[in-house]
Amino acid sequence: MNTALVPRVLALVGALLLGLVVLLPGQADAAPRKLDCGSNDNSSWCSYMTQNLENSRVYGYRDSISNSRNYAITGTCEASTSKTFTYTVGSTLGTEIKAGIFGGVKAEINASVAKSTTTGYVTSAEFKVPAHDTVYCDRGTVNETIKGYTKLSYCGGGCGTKKKTWSFKAPTRARWWIY
């Protein structure tokens, strides 16, 4: 593999891991999806995703919206999460206490202060609920395996084309399932 290709492939994998490239589950039957291309003086390359396989689901929330009206309505499912981090800052203060005939006595005062910060987010999914129908909205996490290949064409000391397949497990991500 051309060493000039390595930073580009690392950037592509980083983008996939960060979710900058939108991946759709079940693309195994679809044509390969072009993710990234590049070139330099002696070579060109393109990377393609061939499959996005869902390995497991874990449901956190399972809701539904039922519409008994004679017309469609808009439904929304919403989930929020927050986490509080607490940390402690401690210190020891040394001092000398004058104690009459005993002279000076050293004393230590231990003090600590607890601080906390909270972070979180809210996510929602909006959809149409047909008349006299129910739409289900589940929220949870999913693990996926991404598969694809990178095709490298080069010239310099001879010309040729190489195809390198790759596969990796994407980080767990949160997802809505609307059905």
Residue 136's nearest CA partner among 31, 61, 42 is: 61
Which residues, at least 6 apart from 174, have a Cβ–Cβ distance to it below 8 Å?
123, 139, 140, 141, 142
Neighbours of 84 (CB within 10 A): 9
- Residue 29 CB: number of other CB atoms within 10 A? 6
Contact 12, 148 (CB under 8 A): no
Contact between residue 150 and residue 166 where contact means Cβ atoms under 8 Å apart:
yes
The residues spanned by each domain of the chain are 5-178
The pLDDT value recorded for residue 125 is 92
The 3-class SS string of 112-154 reads: EEEEEEEEEEEEEEEEEECCCEEEEEEEEEEEEEEEEEEEEEE
Q: What is the pLDDT of residue 23?
A: 44
Q: In whole angstroms, what is the distance from residue 45 CA to residue 2 CA?
A: 10
Instruction: Write out the chain's pLDDT in tens, 179 residues.
Output: 445 544 554 445 444 444 434 444 444 456 899 988 999 988 999 999 999 888 888 998 899 999 999 999 999 999 888 777 776 665 555 555 555 544 555 555 556 667 777 788 889 999 999 999 999 999 999 999 999 999 999 988 889 999 999 998 988 888 999 99
- Ramachandran angles phi, psi of 98, nearest 5°: -85, 120
pLDDT of residue 171: 87
